Amino acid sequence: MAAGVAAWLPFARAAAIGWMPVANCPMPLAPADKNKRQDELIVLNVSGRRFQTWRTTLERYPDTLLGSTEKEFFFNEDTKEYFFDRDPEVFRCVLNFYRTGKLHYPRYECISAYDDELAFYGILPEIIGDCCYEEYKDRKRENAERLMDDNDSENNQESMPSLSFRQTMWRAFENPHTSTLALVFYYVTGFFIAVSVITNVVETVPCGTVPGSKELPCGERYSVAFFCLDTACVMIFTVEYLLRLFAAPSRYRFIRSVMSIIDVVAIMPYYIGLVMTNNEDVSGAFVTLRVFRVFRIFKFSRHSQGLRILGYTLKSCASELGFLLFSLTMAIIIFATVMFYAEKGSSASKFTSIPASFWYTIVTMTTLGYGDMVPKTIAGKIFGSICSLSGVLVIALPVPVIVSNFSRIYHQNQRADKRRAQKKARLARIRVAKTGSSNAYLHSKRNGLLTEALELMGTPEEENMGKSTSLIESQHHHLLHCLEKTTGLSYLVDDPLLSVRTSTIKNHEFVDEQMFEQNCMESSMQNYPSTRSPSLSSHPGLTTTCCSRRSKKSTHLPNSSLPATRLRSMQELSTIHIQGSEQPSLTTSRSSLNLKADDGLRPNCKTSQITTAIISIPTPPALTPEGESRPPPATPGPNTNIPSIASNVVKVSAL
Amino acid sequence: MATVRHRPEALELLEAQSKFTKKELQILYRGFKNPCPLSHQECPSGVVNEETFKEIYSQFFPQGDSTTYAHFLFNAFDTDHNGAVSFEDFIKGLSILLRGTVQEKLNWAFNLYDINKDGYITKEEMLDIMKAIYDMMGKCTYPVLKEDAPRQHVETFFQKMDKNKDGVVTIDEFIESCQKDENIMRSMQLFENVI
C-alpha cells in the first residue's frame, strides 16, 4: 500500500459501513488504537536549519530512519527536537520525499554525497522519481567509471614484491611503464611492426630497371633481403606472442582476445608460406595470404590508445552502424531498381541489370560521382538527382551519433589520464600535510611519557603538560600507546622502509620501566659518573641497537630553565639530554655519552629519520620536548641520578 | 478538466455542519488535499474526481477489482452529482459514517444501494452492488467463488429485508429489518474511532 494513501485509510474504513447490512455474519472487532496520539508537529534540526513536519508525514515510510523509532536516537531532550548533523540541502529533498512521495535528485548535488545521505536516512535510491532517474543513473555510471579508473591505476602503481615471475612479465606486457625492460620491449616491437609494414609496402614499388627486362618491383629484385627482413620480423612477433601466451593469467581467455587473434593472423601467412612454397597449385592462394600480412598494422593498437578508443567506439556504436548499413542497403536497392527501369529504354545504356545499377547508386549516394555510369533519359536523370539528395541525408544522420560517442569516450580517457598525472602531486601534498599531524602524536607521546615519568617521580608537574592537546587527540594518542604496549612495538617516523626491531625494542621498553623504577629506588647516593657508567655498560646494547638509524641533533639549552631538546621536525632526531651548569661533569659526561653513542651508532646510521626522545627528570636538568619550559622542580637530590639513567633508559626510540 | 481551484468553506462553517472537531477537520483536509502521489496525472486541487477516487480505493484492495464498488461509493459521496467530490461532500459523508446516528448510517447505506436514487432497491441494483463487493475479493479466494454466489446472497438479503415481498426494498423496510438484526447493529458501531 502506498504510503501516501495512509491518509485515506479512515475513509476506506468508514466506507466499509456500506457492507454491513449485506453481511450475514458478525464483523470482527476493530483494532483498538492504543496510543492514540493527536497528530503533532515534530521539529527536525538539521545542522541548525529547522524543519517541521507532522509526525504522520514521517510515519508514512516506516522502514526508513525518520519513519521508524530509529530517529529516537537523535532526539535531544533539552531542546525537544531531533538533531541531525548532516547536510540540510539534501535533507530538503529527503523531507520532500515524505511529503510528496517522490524523491528527486538535484543536479547540482554531488552523486556520492547524495548517495551517502540516502544511505544514512535508509532510503533506497531506486525510488527516485522518473523525472530525475535518468540523470541520477548517468552520474552514477560516470562515478563508477572514475572509481574503476582510479582503482586500476592504483593497482598498477602498487609495488607488489610477491608477484611471481609470470605475473611480473604479464604486468610488464600490459603496462610498459612499469619497468625499463618493458619499455624497451614495447618500443622494439613497435619498431619492428613499422618495419614490417613498410617492407610490405615497399616490396611492391617498382624499383629501378634491370636493363633488358621490364620493371621489377623491389620485392622481386631484392627478394633475399626482403625475405630476411620478413623472417626477422616474424621471429620477433612469434617470440612476443609466445611470451605473452606464457605470461597470460588465463591462457584460454588470452587466446580468444582480439589482440592475440591479430597477432596470429599476422604471423600465420609466413609459416604457411614456408610450408607451401613449392606447390604450384596453391601458390595463387598463397599470394592471397600475403594480403593478411597487412594486418600487422593492427598490432599498433597496443601502442596507441587512440586506436583502441576508436575500436571501442565502433563497438559501442554497433547499433547505429547497423542502422546506417541497413538503411543504405534499402535505399540502394530501391534506387537501383528505379534507375534500371528508367534507363531500360535508352540505347546503349550502361545500366544492364539491377546489380549493375547498384554501383551507380552507391557512387551517387555517397556523392562520389565517378561518372562511369550516367543516366541518359530524363526520368533517369530525375531519379538520379533524387538519389544523390537522399544519399546525403541517409549518411549524415547516424554519423553525429557515432562522433559524439567517440568524443565522449575520448574525453573520458583524457580526463582519466589527467587525473592520474595530477594524482601524484596531490598525494604528495596530502602526505606533507599528514606528516604534520602525525608529528603531533609523537610530540604528545613524548609529553605523555614525560608525564608518566613525572608522575612516577611524584612531581606534580602534570598540569603544565598535556593541556596543549585536545581531549580527542590525547585519547587517540593513548590508544596508540596502548597498542604499542600490547604489541611491544613502537611507532617509527617515516617508517615504511624501516623494520621494527621488535626484540630489542621490546626488551628495551621493558628495560625502560625496570631500570626506571630501579633507579627511582636507588638513592641519590650514587653519583653521576658511577651510575652513568654502569648504566652505560649494563646497557651496551641500548645505545647501539635500539635504533637502527639514528641521527642526533642535540642542543644545549640554557640551564636556567629546563634544558629541553628541540624537536625540530620528524626528520630530525633530537636527543634530549641533560644540561646543567651545576654539573658540568654531567654535561661532559653526557656529551661523552652522546659521543660514545654517536660513535657506536654512526656506522649504523644513515639519515636521521628517527627522533629519539630521551626523557630525563628535571632537576636542574629537566627535559621537556619541544620548547616547553617548566620551572625546574624542587629537589635536585634524589633526582640527580635519574636523569642520566633515565636518559639512557627512557630512550623512546621509534619515537 | 477544470483547473480551477476549489476552496472549501470556512473551517468554522464546516465544523458547525459536521460533527468533527477543528483538529479532526485539519487532519482530514491534509489527506484530502494531497491524493496526487498515487496518480501520475495532474489532479485538480481541492476536489477528487472519480478516477482518483477509484485509484485510491484500489490501493486498499490490491487483489481484486474495486473499481465498480468505488464507482458506487463515489456516487454516494457526490451528493450534488457534479462529477467531483469536494471537501464539503467528503466531510458530509464521513460525518454521517463516523459520527452519525445509526439511523443516519442506515440511511446512507440505503442511498448507496439505491443506484438510481428512486427510493427503491431492486434486485438488479442489489445484484450489481453484490457483484461489486465480491469483485473486490479477487480471483484467489478460498473457497473458490461460485458463479451464483452473489445471486444467492441477494436472495438471502431480500428474504430478510423485503417484508411485503413485492420485489423491492423501501427505506422503511430496510431500516426496520436492520434494526431488528443484532449483528448489523453491532457492526454499525464498529468504526466509531476511526479518526
**How many whole angstroms from its chain centre is CA A458?**
51
Give the sign of the dihedral formed by CA A72, CA A73, CA A76, CA A77. Answer: positive
Burial of A50 (0-12, 13-18, 19+ CB in 10 A): exposed
CB contact under 8 A, B38 and A19: no
When scoring B171, B177, B191, B195 by the number of chain A Cβ atoms within 10 A, the one with the most, hence best to mutate, is B191
Q: Do both A241 and A130 map to the same domain?
A: no
The torsion of the CA quartet A377, A380, A386, A391, rounded to 10 degrees, works out to -130
Please give the Cα distance from A363 to A339 (Å, whole number). Answer: 13
Q: Using a CB-CB distance cutoff of 8 angstroms, which residues of chain A are in contact with residue B130?
A: 22
Q: Do both A361 and A298 map to the same domain?
A: no
Do residues A431 and A492 touch, judged by C-beta distance below 8 A? no
Q: Is A318 on the interface with B (CB under 8 A)?
A: no
CB contact under 8 A, A11 and B112: no
Q: Considering the domain boundaries, does residue A350 fall inside one?
A: yes
Whichever domain contains A245, its CATH number is 1.20.120.350
Q: Using a CB-CB distance cutoff of 8 angstroms, which residues of chain B are in contact with residue A8?
A: 31, 35, 56, 59-60
* Residue ranges of chain A whose pLDDT lies below 70: 1-7, 32-38, 153-162, 208-213, 277-286, 437-438, 440-441, 444-445, 447-470, 472-473, 487-655
DSSP A580-631: -SS-HHHHHHHHHHHHHHHHHHTTT--S-----EE----SSS--EETT---P
User: Which of A17, A25, A102 comes nearest B97 by C-beta?
Assistant: A17
Please give the Cα distance from A517 to A447 (Å, whole number). Answer: 19
Q: Is B90 on the interface with A (CB under 8 A)?
A: yes
| Packed helices B50-60 and B67-77: angle between N→C axes, nearest 10 degrees | 130
Q: Considering the domain boundaries, does residue A439 fall inside one?
A: no
DSSP A393-456: HHHHTHHHHHHHHHHHHHHHHHHHHHHHHHHHHHHHHHHHHHHHHHHHHHHHHHHHHHHHHHHH
Whichever domain contains A47, its CATH number is 3.30.710.10
Q: Do both A277 and A212 map to the same domain?
A: yes
Q: Considering the domain boundaries, does residue A569 fall inside one?
A: no
Query: What's residue A278's pLDDT?
Result: 62
CB atoms within 10 A of CB A643: 33
Please give the Cα distance from A299 to A34 (Å, whole number). Answer: 77
Q: Do both A185 and A231 map to the same domain?
A: yes
Q: Is A17 on the interface with B (CB under 8 A)?
A: yes
Q: Considering the domain boundaries, does residue A67 fall inside one?
A: yes
Distance to chain A for B195, nearest Cα, Å: 6
Query: What's residue A211's pLDDT?
Result: 67
Please give the Cα distance from A38 to A638 (Å, whole number). Answer: 75
Query: What's residue A516's pLDDT?
Result: 44
Q: Considering the domain boundaries, does residue A214 fall inside one?
A: yes
Do residues A607 and A647 touch, judged by C-beta distance below 8 A? no
The interface residues of chain A toward chain B in range 132-161, judged by CB-CB distance below 8 A, are: none
CB contact under 8 A, A18 and B156: no
Q: Considering the domain boundaries, does residue A363 fall inside one?
A: yes
Q: Do both A365 and A387 map to the same domain?
A: yes
Q: Is B183 on the interface with A (CB under 8 A)?
A: yes
Arithmetic mean of pLDDT over chain B:
80
Tell which of A429, A454, A480 closes a domain.
A429
Tell which of A383, A413, A429 closes a domain.
A429
Do residues A383 and A338 touch, judged by C-beta distance below 8 A? yes
Residue B55: all three cell numbers together:
485509484
Hey, which CATH number is domain B101-194, 3.40.50.970, 3.40.1030.10, 1.10.238.10, 1.25.40.10? Answer: 1.10.238.10
Distance to chain B for A114, nearest Cα, Å: 23
First vs last C-alpha separation in chain A: 63
Please give the Cα distance from A209 to A218 (Å, whole number). Answer: 10
Q: Is B56 on the interface with A (CB under 8 A)?
A: yes
Tell which of A257, A277, A303 closes a domain.
A303
CB contact under 8 A, B94 and A38: no
Q: Which residues lie closer than 8 Å to A523 by C-beta, 6 or more apart?
A: A638
Q: Considering the domain boundaries, does residue A621 fall inside one?
A: no
- Decide if B10-99 and B101-194 have a common fold: yes
Q: Using a CB-CB distance cutoff of 8 angstroms, which residues of chain B are in contact with residue A24?
A: 153, 156
pLDDT digits (tens, 9 = 90+) for A244-280: 898 888 888 888 988 888 888 888 888 887 777 666 6
Q: What is the DSSP letter of A50?
A: E
Angle at A434 between CA A428 and CA A435, to 5 degrees: 95
Q: Is B5 on the interface with A (CB under 8 A)?
A: no
Q: Which CATH superfamily is domain B10-99 in?
A: EF-hand (1.10.238.10)
Q: Using a CB-CB distance cutoff of 8 angstroms, which residues of chain A are in contact with residue B94?
A: 10-11, 14
* CB-based burial, A57-96: b 16+ in 10 Å, e otherwise: bbebbeebbbbeeebeebeeeeeebbbbebbbbbbebbbe
Please give the Cα distance from B21 to A213 (Å, whole number). Answer: 117
CB contact under 8 A, B184 and A20: yes
HEC string of A445-497 equals HHHHHHHHHHHHHCCCCHHHCCCCCCHHHHHHHHHHHHHHHHHCCCCCCCHHH
Do residues A559 and A568 touch, judged by C-beta distance below 8 A? no
Domain count, chain A: 3
Q: Using a CB-CB distance cutoff of 8 angstroms, which residues of chain A are in contact with residue B105?
A: 17
Grouped pLDDT means (10 residues each) for chain B, 195 residues: 61 83 81 60 65 81 83 87 84 86 88 87 88 80 77 86 85 87 80 67
Burial of B77 (0-12, 13-18, 19+ CB in 10 A): buried
Q: What is the DSSP letter of A176?
A: G
What does the domain layout of chain B look like in residue ranges?
A: 10-99, 101-194
Q: Which domain holds residue A347?
A: 313-429
Q: Which residues of A321-367 form beta strands (DSSP E)?
A: none
Query: What's residue A469's pLDDT?
Result: 55
CB contact under 8 A, B193 and A30: yes
Angle at A391 between CA A387 and CA A393, to 5 degrees: 125
Query: What's residue A601's pLDDT?
Result: 40
Inter-chain Cβ pairs, chain A and chain B, closer than 8 A: 109
DSSP A294-322: GGGGGGGGGT-HHHHHHHHHHHHTHHHHH
Q: Considering the domain boundaries, does residue A388 fall inside one?
A: yes
Q: Do both A298 and A320 map to the same domain?
A: no
Do residues B185 and B178 touch, judged by C-beta distance below 8 A? yes
Burial of A130 (0-12, 13-18, 19+ CB in 10 A): exposed
Query: What's residue A448's pLDDT?
Result: 64
Do residues A265 and A294 touch, judged by C-beta distance below 8 A? no
pLDDT digits (tens, 9 = 90+) for B73-82: 888 888 888 8
